[in-house]
Chains A and B, each alone.
Chain A
């Protein structure tokens, strides 16, 4: 049994102009200790999926269908208090902006101690020494002094390290990292990703890494899910998806990564833009931009079809299967 199973998850927003579907029949699995990358453009539903898993969808967003299971137990319909005990303890989270993720009025030590004591019955002194241990582990220099410093006394990269320490403080089995490096300098990004990767491997923590950086995925993830307009376009082992993309969208994404040292007049891009949630076309949501679209793509929506070690939501795959 997988650690986390998301089964046909559907997230909707009730607005004045009707219901918007931000996440549409998304199914994925994360095994114990596995790193699943989730990529896609802004608005593809990556963060929404993450928020739904930790039960922190902000109203008017809500889970309208599907199931989320941790160890086979449903967690999407738990009462707030029960879900609260899972958050932090079983499923941790790291958000995009380390500058705003920490409460400015408490020292990092206070925030760590509070989190540790929320999830385990330890005394103040024990919690503090555990906090110090965590700060050392995430590579905060002179941690014994820094523990009493306030967030504004740390740089962006250091704050993200503190955030990682906080997310790991109760030893969760899964961490949802929602664009953990987007707000950081490029040079810091690599350090943070390496740190996250090392810590999760050491602790055996699974990670759902939400990002729009294919490079980060290639380096870090075991498997990758490509999302487009609220649906999974392609999911599979990272090497397969990157080297032999089957969905034309994934193919386009890979093609648009510039290669260092190669002279090009124009950078490759996918024509057009992702549709708004209010105007998702019939059939495959990608069909207006797809160079290989045919009639069926404009009429019927493809569901993920098993292909190799992964799944692809594209009629081309079905066609190939018929011909082959």
Chain B
């Protein structure tokens, strides 16, 4: 188990190195950062000096090497635009994104799984049909449109929830949280629903189809034949057997939630990393872009690792135990 985790961590280093390499290669084509840094009246000579100072004249492989060496030490350079260390900027912005992502993931999980179980058990029920129809909306509407619709209804028409920003945030250690103030929580509701709705419908449909599959198995029939109660059969035996695919998808989706928070953060002007990344693209702020992409790759790698460990917890068949000899009958 420990060897497995170490092996996976080493693999993840390679993944992140490759992501950095690919990202850095792409950045050669996004435009000239100097144009964004200086005004029109700056002379050619000064531009050249600045270029030299930032090391932009070196071959990109040299630039990459320099970047990679620093990145390993946690130094992602100075943002061209903000003139501040990228690491600081990200640490400042990360809590907002992570809180938003976590809350939407929890929302999609705690609403999606019960809805999936319900629609799986009452396949032809009236409520199930409504859930299934509504879930089509969640799957097919683009995120930004859902966000705008929610703003229209709850902020413009009803005026009960704020349409942008993060509300009041308080510092807990170095982590700025919006979860402890009522304005922070209010501000979180709409973005979290927007971001989580797609995942919710995905999880619901996944749990439903897995439940339908599992309920047909022999061991469910045998569990019923032993007279176990409905709740034991449905939740203890059936739901637990649907968990492996659900964990996989939820894990992958959590990564996507963090990565695709960009759109939701833009719609709601949420002060997170996604919004910062989008602004960085507009300004050709290469250090921020590179750091952001590597960070997202890191999140994906960590989440995948956790997913793999959870498999072992849920499914005994994956636990390789050399001492357990197979019996013969």
Contacts and interface: CB of A to CB of B under 8 A. Distances in A.
Given A93-B225, A105-B240, A118-B229, A100 B329 contact: no
Please provide the 9 A-B residue pairs with the shortest distance between their CB atoms, ordered closest to farther.
A157-B329, A88-B227, A158-B329, A93-B225, A87-B227, A100-B218, A88-B226, A150-B316, A155-B329
Interface in B228-247: 228-230, 232, 236-237, 240-241
B315 A154 contact: no
Interface string B210-235: 00000001110111111111101000
B329 A104 contact: no
Contacts of A154: 326-327, 329
- Most A Cβ at <10 Å: residue of B222, B223, B237: B222
Nearest to A162: B329
Contacts of B314: 105
14 contacts: A56-B225, A84-B224, A87-B224, A88-B228, A97-B218, A102-B219, A102-B222, A103-B219, A103-B241, A105-B315, A157-B329, A160-B329, A170-B227, A188-B329
Interface residues of B, number: 27
B120 to A, nearest CB: 15
A95 B221 contact: yes
B328 interface: yes
Given A105-B240, A105-B314, A150-B317, A95 B222 contact: yes
Interface in B311-327: 314-317, 324, 326-327
B315 A85 contact: no
Given A105-B315, A169-B226, 20 more contacts: A80-B230, A85-B227, A87-B225, A88-B226, A95-B221, A103-B223, A104-B219, A104-B241, A105-B314, A107-B316, A114-B228, A150-B316, A150-B317, A152-B317, A154-B326, A154-B327, A155-B326, A155-B327, A166-B222, A188-B329
Contacts of A160: 329
Interface string A181-214: 0000000100100000000000000000000000
Contacts of B317: 104, 150, 152
Contacts of A85: 227
Interface residues of A, number: 48
B326 to A, nearest CB: 6
Nearest to A141: B327
A167 interface: yes
Contact of B328 (A80, A119, A155): A155
Contact of B237 (A96, A103, A156, A158): A103
Interface in A24-80: 54, 56, 80
Nearest to B316: A150
Nearest to B244: A105
A264 to B, nearest CB: 34
